[in-house]
Amino acid sequence: MANYEFLTEIEKYGRENKIPILLDETLDYITNKLSEIKPHRILEIGTAIGFSAINFSKYLDEGGRIDTIEIESLRVEQALENIEKVGVQDKIRVLEGDALDILPYLNEKYDVVFIDASKGKYNEFFEHALRLVKVGGWIIADNVLYKGMVMSDYNKHKQRTAVNKLRTFIDSVMENERLESELLEIGDGLTVSHVIK
């Protein structure tokens, strides 16, 4: 039996230590969606300490599994510990490394691909997501409005490269003919795409 009560402690640790785990309203939106989709396979890019993956694991169908990728070894360690404490080791597989090195080796198809890692790499993550998602599945990306900077005219800050890449990402998502997409002002901005072909 999974002990999901431990999530409160994981969340507290994440917020107190400024680990960028999902904001409450983003988590609510995504978990509502997952409860409708009842996914069998989820791919997450950006595990951090496992907070989102553990939350998502509640909504998997029977025998379902999450693959989640994290580049920082300390976070991988913490995620594995948290996954074990909650007791969902059979539902979540953590892959350690740069997602751009790992994604080319993944070959199965996912019902949901969730992008939540380095903003400068969203365009590359998106190409892999398009390859790895099932028709009828979903691609969700968080932080696409990057603290409002993506929609602002001011472009002289040091994050401008990431901001420009996110603008390209949003355009690619919204224009892609395989997808029906929405850009939502939830949390730090979310794109939600249904894969229709």
Ligand X SMILES: C[S@@+](CC[C@H](N)C(=O)[O-])C[C@H]1O[C@@H](n2cnc3c(N)ncnc32)[C@H](O)[C@@H]1O
Q: Is 177 exposed, middle or buried (0-12, 13-18, 19+ CB in 10 A)?
A: exposed
Q: How far is the CB of 147 from ligand X (least distance, A)?
A: 13
Residue 67 as a binder of ligand X (CB under 6 A): the answer is no
The residue from 7, 30, 60, 71 that contacts ligand X (CB under 6 A) is 71
Residue 72 as a binder of ligand X (CB under 6 A): the answer is yes
Residues 92 to 111: which contact ligand X by CB under 6 A? Answer: 98-100
Determine the interface stretch with ligand X among 66-74, 81-89, 151-159, 174-182 (rule: CB under 6 A): 66-74
Listed in sequence order, the residues at least 6 apart from 145 whose beta carbon sits closer than 8 Å to its beta carbon are 151, 166, 185, 188, 189
65-89 burial, b if ≥16 CB within 10 A, otherwise e?
A: bbbbbbbeeebbebbbebbeebebe
Residue 117 as a binder of ligand X (CB under 6 A): the answer is yes
Residue 120 as a binder of ligand X (CB under 6 A): the answer is no
Please report where in the chains the tokens 């903003």 appear, as a residue: 119
Listed in sequence order, the residues at least 6 apart from 121 whose beta carbon sits closer than 8 Å to its beta carbon are 99, 100, 165
Q: How far is the CB of 129 from ligand X (least distance, A)?
A: 13
Q: What residue ranges bind ligand X (CB under 6 A)?
A: 20-22, 46, 48, 51-52, 69-72, 75, 98-100, 116-118, 121
